[in-house]
């Protein structure tokens, strides 16, 4: 069956035809993958696509990296699920602790969502307070406490929050604009006796890409300390994407709790919560805050994560991924920004173009950009063999597999599409 036929069938089986909403936004219908290798996805329709989505962030080495594949194959020979501790989890935790300045201890879970659910519960349990500050347009997974004014597919589909979350719970989540120190401080002070945590994507990656202004993250650290709340960095995207120590090492700001996911599982389901020992020991079984999981620290994930991070310790990965991003950004600026205006926000190997606006420093700036143009860009690129996210509220990602020939092909397609696209 081809993609069109498969999707017709899928619509009978899954709400909206998919198992995660953004997948349905690929136009005219989602393609089904036959296989993936390096930077290339091959569809069941026989098309070859250069992949700038990379499963929404995890695949910084590209698809089927030989070191990861080899490690996983070796692991399969030993079994794949034990329900008991396994040495690889110690090795992976040691790596993460060595790279992330804020992390002394780790709890592995199965997704970024589980990581933020656990981090919020931990912050509430530790501080014995209830309220949370989050930033407009930041997405922290499908987490009841944080699905308020969220980015990613929540923005794409224009869902202001989500049905099914009691208002009593949403009221505990206070939403302020990213990069706005004054408002954050005001709201934090007003709620000081009951503020458990400030949670932030240190670089926003779910409303396009939005960078923190000069001292924004340092100011969040100060405000959290002033009111006795914990600072949580959600580094599910930025962890290992911006470098070995994530955003916290890059911006030199140390949160109390860090959530990780995506890259640390090497392409297998994963999440992690990390932080200072004193806080982490509030988690069961050493403390009163509960978290558990049949699949926590899954052996295959641990092995794949370990192989991935070991590869990241070699310079070529960041060099290749970052220079690919740089070249594609330059092409977008030359071919698209010159014609339609706008700004490309870019850091390391993640970026997004916001057409027709001069700057994007927060979510309301992002909303003023021409999102329909990005959706048309997605469609036109896809027709010519380049796959980008179908929404402006996501990021382009590059990987170690985005070698110069792949980048050159992409740039040719971008200049061809620039001629076709109309304002």
Question: What residues does 354 pair with on adjacent strands?
Answer: 343
* Chain residue whose CB lies nearest ligand PMP: 112
234 is catalytic: yes
Closest contact distance (angstroms) between CB of 236 and ligand PMP is 4
DSSP per-residue codes, 87-141: HHHHHHHHHHHHH-TT-SEEEEESSHHHHHHHHHHHHHHHHT--EEEEETT----
Instruction: Tell which positions 124-183 bind ligand PMP, by CB under 6 A.
Output: 139-141, 152
Strand 230-234 to strand 257-261: parallel, antiparallel, or no bridges (unpaired)? Answer: parallel
Q: Is 62 in the site for ligand PMP (CB under 6 A)?
A: no
Beta partners for 40?
Answer: 37, 50
**Which of 7, 31, 52, 56 touches ligand PMP by CB under 6 A?**
56
At closest approach, how far in Å is the CB of 56 from ligand PMP? 5
Say what angle helices 299-312 and 316-332 make with each other, to 10 degrees: 80
Give the footprint of ligand PMP on residues 252-281 (CB under 6 A): 261, 271
Rounded Cα distance, 278 and 163, in Å: 36
Find the shortest distance in angstroms from Cβ 10 to ligand PMP: 20
Please identify, using beta-carbon distances, which residue of 52 and 370 lies nearer to ligand PMP: 52
Which residue out of 136, 234, 256, 370 is catalytically annotated? 234
Nearest by Cα to 281 from 292, 269, 272, 289: 289
State which H helix or E strand residue 167 sits in: helix 167-170
Query: Residue 139 catalytic?
Result: yes
Answer yes or no whether residue 363 interacts with ligand PMP by CB under 6 A: no
Sheet holding 343-347, edge to edge: 343-347, 350-354, 396-397
In this chain, which of 3, 43, 102, 111 binds ligand PMP, going by CB under 6 A?
Answer: 111
Q: Check 95, 131, 134, 262 and give the catalytic one.
A: 262
Task: Characterize the bridge pairing of strands 131-135 and 48-51.
Answer: unpaired
Q: Rounded to the nearest whole angstrom, what is the least distance from the CB of residue 192 to ligand PMP in the complex?
A: 26
Sheet holding 105-109, edge to edge: 105-109, 271-275, 257-261, 230-234, 195-200, 131-135, 173-176
Residue 115 CB, nearest distance to ligand PMP (Å)? 7
Cα–Cα distance, 377 to 31 (Å, whole number): 17
Could you tell me the sign of the dihedral formed by the alpha carbons of 108, 109, 111, 115, in that order? negative
The residue among 233 and 354 lying less far from ligand PMP, judged by its C-beta, is 233
Cis peptide before 285 (omega within 30 of 0): yes
The least CB distance from residue 234 to ligand PMP, in Å, is 5
- Residue 119 Cβ vs ligand PMP, minimum distance, rounded to whole Å: 10
Please name which of 140, 373, 158, 368 lies closest in space to residue 257, comparing C-alpha atoms: 140
Site for ligand PMP in 195-254 (CB under 6 A): 201, 205-206, 234, 236-237
Size of the site for ligand PMP (CB under 6 A): 17
d(CA 17, CA 201): 30
- Which of 50/273 has CB closer to ligand PMP? 273
Catalytic residue among 56, 86, 126, 139: 139
Q: Does 116 engage in binding with ligand PMP (CB under 6 A)?
A: yes
Q: Which of 112, 267, 305, 342 binds ligand PMP (CB under 6 A)?
A: 112
Cβ-based nearer residue to ligand PMP, 309 or 331: 309
**Catalytic positions:** 139, 234, 262
Contact residues toward ligand PMP (CB under 6 A) are 56, 111-113, 116, 139-141, 152, 201, 205-206, 234, 236-237, 261, 271
């Amino acid at each position: 069956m081809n993609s069109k036929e498969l999707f017709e069938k899928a619509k009978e089986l899954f709400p909206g035809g998919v198992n995660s909403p953004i997948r349905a936004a690929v136009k005219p219908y989602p393609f089904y993958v036959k296989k993936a290798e390096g930077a290339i996805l091959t569809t069941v329709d026989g098309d070859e696509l250069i992949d700038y989505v990379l499963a929404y962030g995890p695949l910084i080495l590209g698809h089927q990296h030989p070191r990861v594949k080899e490690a996983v194959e070796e692991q399969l020979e030993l079994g794949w699920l034990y329900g008991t501790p396994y040495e690889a989890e110690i090795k992976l935790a040691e790596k993460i602790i060595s790279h992330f300045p804020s992390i002394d201890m780790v709890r592995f879970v199965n997704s970024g969502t589980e990581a933020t659910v656990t981090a919020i519960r931990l912050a509430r349990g530790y501080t014995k307070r209830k309220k949370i500050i989050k930033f407009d347009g930041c997405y922290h997974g499908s987490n009841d406490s944080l699905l308020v004014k969220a980015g990613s597919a929540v923005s794409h589909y224009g869902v202001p929050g989500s049905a099914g979350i009691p208002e009593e719970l949403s009221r505990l989540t206070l939403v302020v604009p990213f990069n706005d120190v004054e408002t954050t401080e005001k709201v934090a002070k007003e709620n000081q006796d009951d503020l458990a945590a400030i949670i932030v994507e240190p670089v926003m990656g779910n409303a396009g890409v939005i960078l923190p202004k000069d001292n924004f993250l340092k100011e969040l650290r100060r405000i959290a300390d002033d009111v006795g709340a914990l600072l949580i960095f959600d580094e599910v995207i930025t962890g290992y994407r911006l470098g070995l120590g994530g955003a916290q090492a890059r911006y030199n700001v140390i949160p109390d709790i860090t959530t990780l996911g995506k890259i640390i599982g090497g392409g297998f389901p994963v999440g992690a919560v990390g932080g200072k020992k004193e806080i982490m020991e509030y988690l069961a079984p050493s403390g009163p805050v509960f978290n558990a999981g049949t699949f926590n620290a899954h052996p295959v994930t641990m092995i794949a994560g370990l192989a991935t991070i070991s590869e990241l310790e070699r310079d070529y990965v960041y060099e290749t991924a970052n220079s690919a991003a740089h070249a594609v950004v330059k092409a977008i600026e030359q071919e698209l920004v010159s014609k339609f205006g706008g700004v490309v926000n870019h850091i390391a190997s993640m970026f997004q173009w916001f057409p027709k606006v001069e700057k994007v420093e927060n979510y309301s700036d992002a909303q003023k950009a021409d999102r329909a143009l990005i959706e048309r860009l997605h469609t036109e690129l896809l027709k010519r063999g380049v796959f980008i996210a179908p929404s402006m509220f996501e990021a382009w990602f590059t990987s170690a597999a985005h070698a110069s020939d792949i980048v050159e092909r992409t740039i040719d397609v971008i200049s061809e599409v620039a001629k076709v696209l109309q304002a």
